[in-house]
Structure 1
Amino acid sequence: MITPVNPYLDTQALSPERLELRKAAQGFEAIMLRRMLESARAASFAEDTPLTGGGLKQFEKMRDEHVAEIAAGSGAFGFARSIEEQLAQYIDAKEAGS
């Protein structure tokens, strides 16, 4: 088995609730990153030319979505990790009370 370089990416020891929380946090991070990329692209000063039409914009959107998903899944920015750590205390308290 290959051990992840980032221990945050190891999901084997997680409870189902914690795994669900991690996926939700990564999804939220992907949404945030997508919005950041979209905002950065909107600030572009490029002129509209035949090569920068709707087709290119659609592919840029798809690329931004893909980059955001990869970055969120890798933990590169750490937003998901912070969100998960903040919300995990509620799962841990619930499991301790059971």
Structure 2
Amino acid sequence: MQISNVTGTSAPQGGSTDKAALQQAAKQFEAIFLRQMIGAMRSSSQGEGLLDSSASDQFRDMADARTADSMAQKGSLGIAELLLRQFGGNTPSASAPTQDKGA
């Protein structure tokens, strides 16, 4: 899977295309993170099974990648949302009403 070029968009300053590209890159980052996490969990298993082979390992890797992609599209961990808040300037405190701390 190739990560999109966020800075190569043609929309002028902060256009909707920039936001869409940022959302896509954030989801792709979450998918890559999930793939790495699932792979690390698989590698910590307790040895080989009776029917394990290179073909079943390859199939398991493909299934893990598909699972990670699906989880990222659903926003299961929320990593993409946090990245959008960090890089998109959408902080929860900006939309929340301010309270007087002196009261």
The TM-score by the shorter chain falls in which range? 0.7 to 0.9
Q: Which amino acid aligns with 2:18?
A: E
How big is the alpha-carbon RMSD for the aligned residues of Structure 1 and Structure 2?
A: 1.7
Deviations 1:57-86 (A, max 9, x none): 001100111011110011111001001110
Determine the structure 1 residue equivalent to 2:35.
Answer: 34
Q: Which residue of 2 aligns with 1:53?
A: 53
Work out the percentage of aligned pairs sharing the same amino acid: 33
Shift in Å, 1:15: 1.1
The structure that is helix-richer by fraction is 1
C-alpha separation between the residues in 2 aligned to 1:48 and 1:80?
35
**SS of 2:89's equivalent?**
helix
Deviation at 1:48, TM superposition (A): 4.7
Larger RCO (CA under 8 A, 6+ residues apart): 1
**What is the SS of the residue equivalent to 2:76?**
coil
In terms of Rg, which structure is larger?
A: 2
Distance 1:21 1:15 in 2: 10
One-letter amino acid of the counterpart of residue 35, structure 1? Q
**Structure 1 residue 89: deviation in Å?**
1.7
Q: TM-score, normalising length from structure 1?
A: 0.72
- Residue 83 of structure 1 is matched in structure 2 by 83
| AA in 2 matched with 1:37 | I
Q: Which runs of 5+ in 2 are unaligned?
A: 1-14, 91-103
Give the alignment's TM-score, normalised by structure 2.
0.69
1:21 corresponds to: 22
Question: Shift in Å at residue 46 of structure 1?
Answer: 2.9
